[in-house]
Amino acid sequence: MDSKSTSFEVSAEGGTTFSGRSQDLPAFLMHVRLKELLDSDLREQAIKCAYVALQLRSRAQDWFSSHGTGPSGPSKTAQSSGLGWSTTGC
């Protein structure tokens, strides 16, 4: 039986992107959750926000850019959409 590597690496370059299509959201959220578990740097809120923002494309990126960075911005929607964390301060 071949032994397989149990080393995992998740990089920003190989990340799952999200363009705003609702059917792609569960896979994107799973990627973000796994990335957070595997990358201790993402436990800091500002770094996690920056990582997620870099993975957005098209409509999702436009939406994020247009909603500012304050408490009335993306945080409420992110919390209610199942991200499980606030994007306040992004």
Task: Give the DSSP H or E segment for 34.
Answer: helix 25-38
Structural domain boundaries, residue 31: 22-80
82 pLDDT more than 70: no
What is the rounded CA–CA span in Å between residue 90 and residue 26? 21
Domain assignment present for residue 13? The answer is no
Domain assignment present for residue 67? The answer is yes
Instruction: For residue range 19-33, list pLDDT tens digits in order.
Output: 999 999 999 999 999
What is the rounded CA–CA span in Å between residue 28 and residue 25? 5
CB–CB of 48/36 below 8 Å? yes
Instruction: For residue range 8-60, list pLDDT tens digits in order.
Output: 444 545 678 999 999 999 999 999 999 889 888 888 888 888 899 999 999 99
Domain assignment present for residue 45? The answer is yes
Crossing angle for the helix pair 45-55 and 25-38, nearest 10 degrees? 140
Tokens of 20: 């705003």
- How many domains is the chain built from? 1
CB–CB of 78/38 below 8 Å? no
Domain assignment present for residue 17? The answer is no
What pTM was computed for the model?
A: 0.60
**Which alpha helices (DSSP H) does 1-90 contain, by range?**
25-38, 45-55, 58-66, 74-80
